Copies of this chain bind each other. A is one copy, B any other.
Amino acid sequence: MIRRKDECRIEYREKMRDGNGTVRLTSLIAGPEELNNKGRLFSRITLNPGCSIGYHVHETDAELFYILTGTGAYSDNGTVVNVQPGDVTICETGHGHSITNTGEDVLELVAVIVYA
């Protein structure tokens, strides 16, 4: 099946995980069943300059980010590193992460969450 760009569900979340600003989440799937119930998220995430997703721990799943555009500061289970387009971040089950747009342009990434 095909889901056209304008058919993808867009959600705006303020202070996501106690972060700053408003984060846009474009869901590329209708629900976990489109991932064969092996995960629950396949999304494009957009953060304007200064916006962030606050630090949180993935207790029952793991989340991967693939950076598309922009620059950010990523907390990798407490260690903050800079990330750029092409970089991949992996938050294993039981670990935590956060991400902040530290640049002047929009920070965009593809995120995938798979269950533990």
- Residues of A that sit less than 8 Å from B by CB: 1-6, 8, 28-29, 34-36, 38-39, 42, 44, 61-62, 64, 66, 68, 74, 76, 81, 83-90, 92-93, 110, 112, 114-116
Contacts and interface: CB of A to CB of B under 8 A. Distances in A.
Contacts of A42: 64, 66, 112
Contact of A88 (B29, B74, B116): B29
A44 B85 CA distance: 12
Given A39-B38, A39-B114, A64 B29 contact: yes
Contacts of A28: 64, 66, 88
A2 B36 contact: no
A90 B3 contact: yes
